[in-house]
Copies of this chain bind each other. A is one copy, B any other.
Amino acid sequence: MSSTAEKLVAETRQLIMKGGYHGFSYADLAERFGIRKASIHHHFPSKAGLVVAVIEQQRAEIQKHIASLESGTPVAVDQLLAYINYWKQCIQDETAPFCLAGVLAAELPGLPPEVAVAVQGHFNDLRKWLEHVLALGVQQGTIRLENSPAIAAEFFQAAVYGAMLMARAYKDPSKFGLVVDAFFRRMRVDAA
């Protein structure tokens, strides 16, 4: 991918996080980079295609992130904490005030089908990883679940996205940590 295409993807990501799929246009992107709308169509012929590219890039980045997390520490609890802290940081400094796929999921029935499919792909990726790490934590004796890892992963995911929505709705980034920390504490065997 060319550097311009990469910049377009990065900026689109920000714009979607702000206002969703229908909340931005090629004109917004053109203005930000001082180029014409037609030049954007050269890189991404359709809006749906551009947005799918943004989601897929995000998914690829997350897979890399997970890989480096797993090579960084074999401890499940530390991996989950790193995940949580990553989002705390992003929401706090507004580099990513909301999960891209989260905003899109909220308007899922109104999205072009190919975009909806990509969004659902992200949710599945994340759920599977959480299920895997939670099962690992149980095995390591640091996590205690009241349900199967599969159910707990969905529960965890709901807590993270719910917490994000709270932070946004109340315009208070600290709400994210408040909710997620309280939630995660309950899962930990050595919780304070």
Contacts and interface: CB of A to CB of B under 8 A. Distances in A.
A175 interface: yes
A55 to B, nearest CB: 13
Interface residues of A, number: 45
A114 interface: no
A8 interface: no
A19 B102 CA distance: 13
A166 interface: yes
Most central of A108, A111, A120 by chain B CB within 10 Å: A108
B154 A161 contact: no
Contacts of A170: 120, 123
A117 to B, nearest CB: 11
Interface of A: 18-23, 97-98, 101-103, 105-111, 119-120, 123, 146-147, 151, 154-155, 157-163, 165-166, 168-171, 175, 178-179, 182-183, 186
25 contacts: A18-B109, A19-B107, A19-B110, A19-B111, A20-B106, A23-B107, A98-B106, A102-B106, A103-B106, A105-B165, A105-B168, A108-B169, A108-B171, A109-B168, A120-B169, A147-B182, A151-B182, A154-B178, A155-B179, A157-B166, A158-B166, A158-B175, A161-B162, A161-B165, A186-B186
Given A108-B168, A146-B186, 13 more contacts: A18-B109, A19-B22, A19-B109, A101-B169, A105-B165, A105-B168, A120-B170, A120-B171, A151-B178, A158-B159, A158-B179, A159-B159, A161-B165
